[in-house]
A and B are shown apart, each in its own frame.
Chain A
Amino acid sequence: MIEFGLLQLIMAVLGVGVGIIFGALPGMTATMAIAIFLPLTYAYDLNTSLFLLLGLYVGGISGGLIPAILLNIPGTPSSITTGFDGFPMAKRGEAEKALKIGITASLIGGMFSLAALCLFTPPLAKLAIQFSAVEKFLIILFALTVIAALSKGNMTRGIFAGFLGVLVSLIGAFADNNHLRMVPDFLKVELRSGFQLLPVLIGLFALTQIFQEAETGMKVSKATYDLNNNDKSKRFSIKDFKGQGINLIRSSAIGTFMGILPGVGGSAASLLSYSQAKNFSKEPEKLGTGAVEGLVASESANNGLTGGALIPLLSLGIPGDSTTAVLVGAFMLQGIQVGPLFITNNRGTWYTILFALAICNIIMFITMFYPIKHIAKVIKLPKNRIYPVIILMCVVGAYAIRNGNMFDVWTLLLFGVIGYIFSKINIPSAPFLIGFILGRDLEKYFVDSIKGSGGSLACFFTRPIGWGIWALIIASILFAVFDNRKARRQQA
């Protein structure tokens, strides 16, 4: 039933390899990789192309952890939270360990979501469409509470930064009525669809860092990171996962479910799972200082996304995230309609997808886990040599995100400067970015909700699933406030 031979294996390896490169380079994403290869798939039959495309998907999502851990620059939006704990570990000399933990967590997350895809697709898809605009709005709000959890000791500032990010994300045209808001006249064309996420992300993380280093003269720090140490605690062992079982399952499940929900962006997955890891942690104060917990939560969630996002796509014809939306094109080009009858009518393709996803996850693990210790050496290269190359990649990525738009390179520079200024006036960049990522969805589902209710805000309190999410939101905020107080008292 499943055609699998050398050609398919080569396709899968190629897909994963290229995907990892795209994921790892700041500014390149899995979505971009799939879009590039879409026309090429026409040369092969659908089943063979699927190995390539799913490889790109899995590789692209996984590759993002490399620069997040080594350079504190997330390679993709969904690996923002990976750097929170991964980078401090790398600074402690545990780069290789952090990478290996991340890769292993990725594999587990990927396999978890594959199991969900394999076993529960129809019921999960049914559950997903029970979530109306109201629930989606509340889930976005819930994901936003990660801001409160992140800005320990300085909560008001963090929340302020978060809402500022939301406001900036709203710049541009509103999709419902095509009217512009908050756009200066001379940028009417360039800012029509607002600032693009990717240039904003790499601007705030990569370029800001370069500006800061430039200010201090970019002193060559010689081998502060010792990679070849013999200290056993700094090396990866499977024991690192001890006590992470529940965390792994919870994070993978959150990732998978975020994938299943159509129209809730993939980045929300790792954000939510990170904040929940913190809320459930026995030592929440350690998250953000290089805790294995945080790393595991982030990486298992973003790979949990992969299988999850395929669930509504294959059972309802509705893509679960932006990357799977691109995948639809591959089916359509071959004249295959993706909709509620897809699985029944295309049994062979359905099994191929499951099989290809499993193979690609395994290939991802093998191609990343073993060579990673060599890649980890990037951290030892002098910064003044790496930064120019990072600038080059960021520029290419920003320009390419909308298939050739120079304004996005200006966006990159602008947010590099903004991030630099933020660091000077003590406004945290991460909450700003999170607000920016979630802002548009927050608005969309808010407006959709009141559209359905005829303007009444009561709609947010009348649905049972909604009540459940409200409870989670309130618990999350209370926890963060409590944590914030504790941190302040410790400071004082």
Chain B
Amino acid sequence: MLTINYMPSTSHWIVPPIIMGILVILLFVMSIQRFIKTKKENQPFIQLKNKRFFEENWDKLKLFGTLVLFILYIFAMDVLGFLIASIVFIFLFNVLFAGVMQLEEIPKAFKEKTYFKNEGFCSVCISLLIAIIFSVGIWFLFGEVFSITLP
């Protein structure tokens, strides 16, 4: 029967190599499976032509906007504290998801004095409202009532 050499000082490297070995074997099996399949269908093994990483007409702004905002949000919490950073960034996330175009409506709404009749203006207000209500709500409930440590 197979034995494994157990030493306390090296015991942290017993299991990871086994798992890595299994992963390599699985990779090998997967490539064989693919090889058989592509051979059967007479297709090349590596096929990059019709592959695309992103969906068609993908929304660059929203996808990368989410990523960038999230990173900035983390840094902002360190600098500003939880409450203020959250209000600002939840508002920004809201605006980003609802459509940045709406921001252009704000000066228009002020100029035309349409305010709440203007859809974009309304939407931005809702964003602000959500940001404030939930940030303050969560800050109060968890930070104050339950005294969870917040950033």
Do the beta carbons of B148 and A391 come within 8 Å of each other? Answer: no
In the bound complex, do residue A164 and residue B11 qualify as a contact, i.e. CB atoms below 8 Å apart?
no
B112 within 8 A of A: no
Stretch from A312-320, A344-352, A381-389 forming part of the interface with B = A381-389
Is B103 an interface residue when CB atoms closer than 8 A count as contact?
no
CA distance A457 to B3 in the complex (A): 6
What does the 1/0 interface line of A454-473 toward B look like (CB < 8 Å)? Answer: 11111000000000000000
Tell me whether A392 and B149 are in contact (CB under 8 A): no
How near does chain A come to B19, taking the closest CB pair, in angstroms?
5
CA distance A318 to B2 in the complex (A): 34
Interface size on A, residues (CB 8 A): 59
Q: With the chains together, A451 CA to B74 CA distance in Å?
A: 43
Task: Tell me whether B5 is interfacial, beta carbon within 8 Å.
Answer: yes
**Residues 21 to 57 of chain A near chain B (Cβ within 8 Å):** 32, 36
A118 interface residue, CB < 8 Å from B? no
Residues 166-177 of A, flagged 1 when their CB comes within 8 A of B and 0 if not, give: 110010011011
User: CB of B140 within 8 A of chain A?
Assistant: no
Stretch at the interface among A65-73, A77-85, A396-404: A396-404
Do B3 and A455 touch (CB < 8 A)?
yes
Across the interface, do B23 and A160 meet the contact criterion of CB distance under 8 Å? yes
Q: Which of A157, A388, A458 contacts B1 (CB 8 A)?
A: A458
Which among B12, B58, B138 has the highest number of chain A CB atoms within 10 Å? B12
Cα distance A181–B86 in the bound complex, in angstroms:
35
| Interface 9-mer from A329-337, A367-375, A441-449 | A441-449
How many residues of B are in contact with the other chain, CB < 8 A? 60
Question: Contacts A214-B65, A388-B130, A400-B142 given: A163-B11 contact, CB under 8 Å?
Answer: no
Asked, given contacts A170-B19, A404-B151, whether A210 binds B58 with beta carbons under 8 Å apart, the answer is no
Q: Is B44 an interface residue (CB 8 A)?
A: no
Residues of chain A contacted by B58 (CB below 8 angstroms)? 215-217
Given contacts A215-B62, A216-B58, A218-B62, contact A396 B150 (CB under 8 A): yes
* B33-44 Cβ-contact flags toward A at 8 Å (1 or 0): 100000000000
Which of A215, A391, A396, A424 interacts with B142 by CB under 8 Å?
A396
Interface flag for A182 (CB, 8 Å): yes
Counting CB contacts under 8 A, is B110 at the interface? no
A-B contact count (CB 8 A): 165
Most interface-central of B15, B58, B131, B151 (chain A CB within 10 A): B15
Q: Which residue of A lies closest to B18 (CB)?
A: A446
Name the residue on B nearest A218 (C-beta): B97
Residue B80, interface by CB 8 Å: no
Contact A217/B59 with A36-B146, A455-B6, A457-B4 known, Cβ cut-off 8 Å: yes
- Taking a contact as CB atoms under 8 Å apart, the answer to whether A181 and B12 are in contact is yes
Q: Output the least CB separation between A154 and chain B (Å).
A: 10
- Which of B12, B26, B59, B78 touches A156 (beta carbons < 8 Å)? B26
A198: Cβ under 8 A from any B Cβ: no
Q: Nearest chain B CB to A480's CB is how many angstroms away?
A: 15
Question: With A36-B148, A156-B30 in contact, do A410 and B12 touch (Cβ < 8 Å)?
Answer: no
Partner of B70, one of A157, A176, A391: A391
Q: Which residues of B contact A404 (CB under 8 A)?
A: 149-151
When the two chains form their complex, are residues A399 and B150 in contact, meaning their CB atoms are under 8 A apart?
yes
- Chain A residues with CB below 8 A from B138, complex form: 392-393, 396
Q: Hey, which bits of chain A sit against chain B, CB under 8 A?
A: 32, 36, 156-157, 159-160, 163-164, 166-167, 170, 173-174, 176-177, 179-182, 210-211, 214-218, 383-385, 387-389, 391-393, 395-396, 399-400, 403-404, 406, 409-410, 413, 416-417, 424, 442-443, 446-447, 450-451, 454-458
Q: Which 10 A-B pairs have the closest CB atoms?
A: A174-B12, A404-B149, A384-B97, A388-B93, A214-B62, A217-B59, A458-B1, A443-B15, A160-B26, A179-B12
* A to B CB contacts below 8 Å, 22 in the list: A36-B147, A160-B27, A164-B23, A167-B20, A180-B12, A215-B62, A385-B126, A388-B97, A395-B77, A396-B138, A404-B150, A406-B74, A406-B78, A443-B14, A450-B4, A451-B6, A456-B1, A456-B2, A456-B3, A457-B1, A457-B3, A457-B4
